[in-house]
Amino acid sequence: VQLQASGGGLVQPGGSLRLSCAASGSIFSIKDMGWYRQAPGKQRALVADITSGGSANYADSVKARFTISRDNTKNTVYLQMNSLKPEDTAVYYCTAAAYSGSVYRGGYWGRGTLVTVSS
């Protein structure tokens, strides 16, 4: 499975960015998808994830500012980031979990896209 992320860049505090990540090449169904981030000197941490049914989960630090969504027909997950803060600066990684029916077939990571929030 290949995950291709896009949409990162430099934005001023208070600004917005939208990340996209498309999964391709899987012979299994892509169910859970999500975003993690890793800031300099910190461990990678969950930002948000979403099931194929649309149930979303967010880190407390991004609730009410970020929105995760997906297009199942395109195996694509999005992360709309509003009211960005300097502490949101990180490399953002998308993830996907593949299943065959109820059997987990593997988890996959994208290469990451850099988001820099700075004036």
- pLDDT of 27 > 80? The answer is no
Query: Taking residues 101-113, what's their average pLDDT?
Result: 90
**Which residues lie closer than 8 Å to 3 by C-beta, 6 or more apart?**
21, 22, 23, 94, 95, 96, 108, 109, 110, 111
What is the average pLDDT value for the chain, to the nearest integer? 94
Beta-carbon count within 10 A of 81 CB: 26
Residue 10 confidence (pLDDT): 97
> What is the pLDDT, as a whole number, of residue 29?
84
pLDDT for 26: 76
Where residue 63 falls among pLDDT bands split at 50, 70, 90? Answer: very high
pLDDT value at residue 69: 97
